[in-house]
Amino acid sequence: MTTESKRILLVEDEKAIRDVVSAYLEREGYWVTPAADGQVAIDQFSKSRFDLVVLDLMLPKVPGEQVCRTVRDTSDVPIIMLTAKGELEDRVAGLELGADDYLVKPFSPRELVARVRALLRRARVDEEPQRNRLVYGGLEIDNVAHKVVLSGEQLDLTASEFKLLTTLARYPGRVYSRMELVEKVLGYDFEGYERTVDSHVKNLRAKLGDDPRRPTFIWTVHGVGYRFEPPQPSAESPGA
């Protein structure tokens, strides 16, 4: 797999973390531009094209939230947010600001590299024009016909369940907060409706045959929300 010329903006004020993360990413063949504060990050982003941004939340000069917002004003570039341990509200806020993923410090650089690779792969998939049909293992989602087939059987989903499933499945691995799902799926913006998302997820899982404790498709991200993961290919028989 080639990662040639993929450019990453790494925004982190702690030099030790910046150096380690840079080294790992460069070893993978990525081109890394470091930024030690939020203002430098915004300046760099306005000057050059980047394929992905790794963004620390607690930054001098301009906070990470503001950097995220500024980037999102002009770009859909994938953003991975770095948050300190226990900053749950920050994580949720980060996702709502438009970050695609987050890692809690201390994190393993290997894990970060894996997330970067996954997000860049997904960004490439997004560029493909034909995304009307999503296929993950035995699950087929037809966005035009509004049809979902699991292992050859058509599922009877409500409009909300269909919307919830397509929202999650369009970006495998991306974590969605309940609030985001409320807005995307139900179109409400009241906090009280976050519980409604939980009950839609519960019903959708029942129809997908998903065990909440060991799901095949829809995973709970504790305290935050949900994400879709494609089933492991090893479960499929070769040549089938």
Residues at the contact surface with Ca ion, assessed by CB under 5 A = 13, 56, 58
Amino acid at 77: V
Closest CA to 45 of 212, 54, 148: 54
Q: For residues 153 and 147, is the Cβ–Cβ distance under 8 A?
A: no
In the complex, the smallest distance separating the C-beta of residue 105 from Ca ion, rounded to whole angstroms, is 8
In the complex, the smallest distance separating the C-beta of residue 87 from Ca ion, rounded to whole angstroms, is 11
CA distances from 63 to 25, 69, 166, 224 (A): 24, 10, 33, 21
CA dihedral 205, 206, 212, 215 (to 10 degrees): -60
Q: For residues 68 and 86, is the Cβ–Cβ distance under 8 A?
A: no
State which residue, 54 or 148, has the beta carbon closest to Ca ion: 54
Closest CA to 35 of 22, 47, 23, 44: 44
Q: Listing from the earlier edge strand, what are the strands of the sheet with 101-104?
A: 31-35, 7-11, 52-56, 79-83, 101-104
State which residue, 41 or 204, has the beta carbon closest to Ca ion: 41
State which residue, 43 or 236, has the beta carbon closest to Ca ion: 43
State which residue, 13 or 194, has the beta carbon closest to Ca ion: 13
Instruction: Please list, residue by residue across 6-38, b when 16 or more beta carbons sit within 10 angstroms of its beta carbon and e when fewer do.
Output: bebbbbbbeeebbeebbebbeeeebebbbbbbb
Tell me the residue nearest to Ca ion as measured from the CB. 58
In the complex, the smallest distance separating the C-beta of residue 74 from Ca ion, rounded to whole angstroms, is 24
Amino acid at 103: L
State which residue, 69 or 124, has the beta carbon closest to Ca ion: 69
State which residue, 108 or 151, has the beta carbon closest to Ca ion: 108
In the complex, the smallest distance separating the C-beta of residue 65 from Ca ion, rounded to whole angstroms, is 12
Q: Name the pairing type of β-strands 7-11 and 31-35.
A: parallel
State which residue, 58 or 103, has the beta carbon closest to Ca ion: 58
In the complex, the smallest distance separating the C-beta of residue 100 from Ca ion, rounded to whole angstroms, is 19
Task: Give me 214's structure tokens.
Answer: 């060991």
In the complex, the smallest distance separating the C-beta of residue 78 from Ca ion, rounded to whole angstroms, is 20
In the complex, the smallest distance separating the C-beta of residue 94 from Ca ion, rounded to whole angstroms, is 13
